[in-house]
Structure 1
Amino acid sequence: MIRYSRITNKIKREIVLLKGKPCKWGKCSFCDYIEDNSTDEDLNDKINFDILSNITGEYGVLEVINSGNVFELSQKTLNYIKEIIVDKKIDTLFFEAHWIYRKRVKYMRDFFGVKCIVKTGLESFNQDFRERILLKGFDYKNIDEIKEYFDSVCLMVGIQGQSKEMIINDIELARNNFNHFTINIFVENSTNIKPDNKLISWFQSEYKWLDSEQKCDVLWVNTDFGVGD
């Protein structure tokens, strides 16, 4: 498992894939990523400290991800991230949290004490697809409510049951409402959710221009950030 890398295009940053406790939501139908966790906090901290020791601060920007939410990292790991932010003169931090943690996002921003770009795995603005198929658990009233807590949304493309119209609308809403967003192409995994390869091919042809969209990161494969397996 590769757990440290550099993103060298668009928003240049170092990125680390850490280990935390099991995802508190843990219900997303398409996700087996949450298997990369452990209830052994000492083990998690040991792994995380080794990974974090690679950070140089060369870009002044760091992204921290794990198999769930930043809130599932131990306090020791969070404290060490904060030390590194100071020591390496990091001025911008990316991290991710599920909707259930929205009321605690401000606490984490204040804890780290630098500019934070907080991402959330919305996957789609289409409520029926998102909640009936993906089981995401986002009960927001409108986009402004999402923007109240989060700076960036992660969208998923290429799942059976999704349509071109949904994707077109999702991208338009993300571009018009957020200064940053991420698109992940769904890759078949151990879950029962299956990719729609025709839809993925259409997206790859129609939306290749997103590679030039400064505020959008596209993961054409799920290891495009250089971390993972």
Structure 2
Amino acid sequence: MSEQTTQEDAHALVGAYVLDALDPGEREAFERHLAACPDCQAEVPGMRAAAARVAATAYVRPPAHLKSAVLAQVARTRQLPPVVTAVSAPVALAWWRRPLALAAAVVVLAAAALSAVLGVQLHESRQREAQIAAIIAHPEVSREVALRGGGSATLDVAGGRAVVRMRGAAAPPSGRVYELWVVPSAGSPRPAGLMDSGSGGALVKQVTGAKALAVTVEPAGGSERPTLPPVVVLTV
């Protein structure tokens, strides 16, 4: 109901209001009119009472057999079949393709596993290089010792870690490797990894309490205990 609705139009909506037949806008406008109209305020309760009496008079109790009759009709009525979306049947692989598909799956899985391993190794290698660079840049202890036969070995220590580098050293004999050892103040040396004389250095992650680091020539793959006298000993 618009703002231009006349008083007569507003009065005519009393019945629709009582029966809840107005849309939200009309209902809101009529209720504003109702708040200021004594005639409509008096008429609304009477209309509601009349509507209630009409509803009570028109009410008819359904017969007792109606429910059973409806259910019987439902049982006799054929139901529509369910709507089923057609789905293509899976195509079976030819017998000679199955081994190829399995082999391809194995190759894919192997490639994924190899990629993951290489990713981890690359990450660890970069971490190691960063740690070596940090120790060499800011060592707490740094010393260099000449090697017999030429070249030198350098030790840098920082934060309980150490880096050992060999410069100008001859390559070990065929089938042999350089191995690094942590020499404790008491007890036997413990292996600290293999060394490459041409690499950027070997990282020892824990030298706290160590007396020295030593390098020996060992069989390929390294040894659990030194088998030859050290090539160099670097005091920590």
* TM-score bucket (shorter structure): under 0.3
Higher relative contact order (CA 8 A, sep 6+): 1
Q: TM-score, normalised by structure 2?
A: 0.17
Q: TM-score, normalised by structure 1?
A: 0.17
Q: Which has the larger radius of gyration?
A: 2
